[in-house]
Structure 1
Amino acid sequence: MQQPQAVHGPCVWRGTDYRNPADWVYTLSAQALADIDRAVRHAREAGLGLDEITPAEFDLPALAGDLATMAEILHSGRGFVRLQGIDRARYSDDELGIILWGLGTHLGIGVSQSQRGDRLGHVQDRGEVGRYYGIGGPIEVHMDPVDVTGLMCLTPAMHGGATPLMSSFAVHNVILAERPDLLPVLYRGFHYGSETVIKGGLPITEHRIPVFNFVAGEPDCFFLPAAIRGPNGEPRDALPAIEREAIDLLQAVADRPDMKIDMLIDPATVQFINNRVILHARSDYADWPEPERKRHLLRMWVMMPAWPKRPPEVQMLRSTDRAGGGIAKAEA
């Protein structure tokens, strides 16, 4: 086990460092918006499925340099980017999904998010217990088991529903300073498994996955509490007290006001985050009374082949879709 030490670099930040949205929001130019419009129209007219939408098919010349910069920010910068300026009223929900997917293909490779083989996840209260994105209300601090998550808002909540972002290694450093005795517990990590994973033929991990780790010298965080709670079918209370304490402290530190950026994602706004260095959550919200106005976001999972590959002993999903990530579609 690696000896805990303070981590430094652009991915280590506090929410107080990014209070000014101008520091992290990219407003699309008229030329970029025109490129996006041409690209989505081409995809529709050609009848392209999501897997057929490639950077060549979704050509964005006015954004090429900016997308390369965004990929660098995700990998070795602050770990999150946001794009705004798309006209929500101009596009259907399906077209906005094409836009999110098309932008994501310029960063990496889109992968499936469930055994159903869905390329775009629908983040909406459907009462789908077992998956964070299928339930309403607040969501605890976690990351997604994929390199990058992309989000696009279709319909915001009536009230609330912010998506706080936190630097996982800023949280690491606070724990190192305040409770260094708990860091070895997080470096040792946890066994992972859930009903969803088991049904997909993916057994509970026999190995522990460290919460804080380094892959090819790069910081790497893996923290998915929903899948920690049920190893071997046992309740979370069955975990040793020191492990529960470490989990609780990590979540409490991440939730401190100075540690997080509380982001509300406006309609047609796009956000990409690096799950290896960013934790996220969701604040409580109130939906509109009309069913068609329920809070609704689209989610894309992206693998980054150019990044150092996580070795098997720090992965939860053993059966993958593409590019070494995602969840393979269940056989009929």
Structure 2
Amino acid sequence: MVHDQPQPLTGACVWQGDAFRQPADWVYTLSAAALADIDRAMRTVRDAGLSLDAVTPAQFDLPALADDLASMADILHTGRGFVRLQGIDRDRYSDDELGIILWGLGTHLGVGVSQSQRGDRLGHVQDRGEVGRYYGIGGPIEVHMDPVDVTGLMCLTPAMRGGATPLMSSFAVHNAILAERPDLLAVLYRGFHYGSETVLSGSPPASEHRIPVFNFVAGEPDCFFLPAAIRGPNGEPRSQLPAIEQEAIAYLQAVANRPEMKIDMVIEPATVQFINNRVILHARADYQDWPEPERKRHLLRMWVMMPSWPRRPPEVQMLRSTDRAGGGIAKAEA
């Protein structure tokens, strides 16, 4: 529930980027034993011809990584809200094999869900000119979160230059706004209506109610901020929102983009990153692609629901039609 008088939030999920300038503070380097387990598990799934939905933690068995994955799940839920794994040899695997690895790792954290009405299990973050979809366009992307518990990313091909993915603590941003502009924080606690044309093309508006940007679900902090889908009460474009609401959106984004607030993550090939969308905001810096089409910046994205986390009640959910585990986007009827 939303507090009548917001207070500064404390805890591990409230941090500023200055606390994580050294990668050793937050990057997990996979051991030789863990890499061997990942390789064996990937080959088991690949050779069996399993669909991604059919992959279970038992089938993608990672004994050398079990304790670390449990620790990562705790970090996502009650810690800083993001984890990063490195050490996989990009040149050893095809794109499809790396997709199996990303999905297999994600199954040890939660339940993978669809990212679009097409039923995509793995999203391809690449400039394909898909206006209205953050992950289908090039260039910079504004501060936002994904409408799912956890997002997993794996880099297949980096940009020629640029393309960092800044991460920000949602509730560090909350605390700064509380200290500087409590009038705007009240607007953010009231929240916004969310239209669906940029997320579910051709669907009716998904949110007839306001969804608070900052909220608490079963006492746990919960942020929901997806500017591309924000609409006014009648589904009007954001430019037609009341001036105070436009100001609140702009102020949140400006605070999140302060250098001291963010970590400018550069995801190297075959590096894996998981973030808790309830407490982490992210964005993307502008970048320049390679001139060769086959070398365009390309990341794989996985959406994960966490059944062990408190379920968001209907009044703070954007999507009516979900895939499974209470999240994702249901596949459109043929």
2:162 to 155, 160, 163: 160
* Letter of the structure 1 residue corresponding to residue 21 of structure 2: R
1:194 to 179, 196, 201: 196
Larger CA deviation: 195-204 vs 205-214: 195-204
Matches within 5 A, 1:28-107: 28-107=30-109
Give the match for residue 239 of structure 1. 241
Give the match for residue 296 of structure 1. 298
Q: TM-score, normalised by structure 1?
A: 0.98
Matches within 5 A, 1:261-300: 261-300=263-302
Taking the aligned partners of 2:231 and 2:155, their CA distance within structure 1 comes to 29
Give the match for residue 230 of structure 2. 228
CA offsets 1:1-40 (integer angstroms, 9 cap, x no match): 5221100000000000100100100000000000000001
* Letter of the structure 2 residue corresponding to residue 148 of structure 1: V
Is 2:106 the counterpart of 1:112?
A: no
Taking the aligned partners of 2:259 and 2:160, their CA distance within structure 1 comes to 23
Give the match for residue 125 of structure 1. 127
Shift of 1:230: 6.8
Taking the aligned partners of 1:39 and 1:202, their CA distance within structure 2 comes to 41
Helix, strand or coil for the counterpart of 1:301?
strand
Shift of 1:217: 0.3
Structure 1: gaps of 5 or more residues: none
Distance 1:151 1:198, change over 3 A: closer
Of all paired residues, the percent bearing the same amino acid is 86
Give the match for residue 214 of structure 1. 216
Structure 2: gaps of 5 or more residues: none
Distance 1:198 1:57, change over 3 A: closer
* Letter of the structure 2 residue corresponding to residue 207 of structure 1: H
* Letter of the structure 2 residue corresponding to residue 142 of structure 1: H
Larger CA deviation: 175-184 vs 22-31: 175-184
CA offsets 1:239-276 (integer angstroms, 9 cap, x no match): 11111111111000000000000000000000000000
- Asked if the contact 2:166/2:265 (under 8 Å) is kept, the reply is yes
- Asked if the contact 2:197/2:203 (under 8 Å) is kept, the reply is no
Taking the aligned partners of 1:107 and 1:228, their CA distance within structure 2 comes to 29
Shift of 1:197: 4.3
Give the match for residue 182 of structure 1. 184
Q: TM-score, normalised by structure 2?
A: 0.98
* Letter of the structure 2 residue corresponding to residue 295 of structure 1: R
Helix, strand or coil for the counterpart of 1:330?
coil
- Asked if the contact 2:289/2:297 (under 8 Å) is kept, the reply is yes
Taking the aligned partners of 2:205 and 2:236, their CA distance within structure 1 comes to 15
* Letter of the structure 2 residue corresponding to residue 328 of structure 1: A
Taking the aligned partners of 1:231 and 1:301, their CA distance within structure 2 comes to 28
Taking the aligned partners of 1:214 and 1:129, their CA distance within structure 2 comes to 32
- Asked if the contact 1:40/1:99 (under 8 Å) is kept, the reply is yes
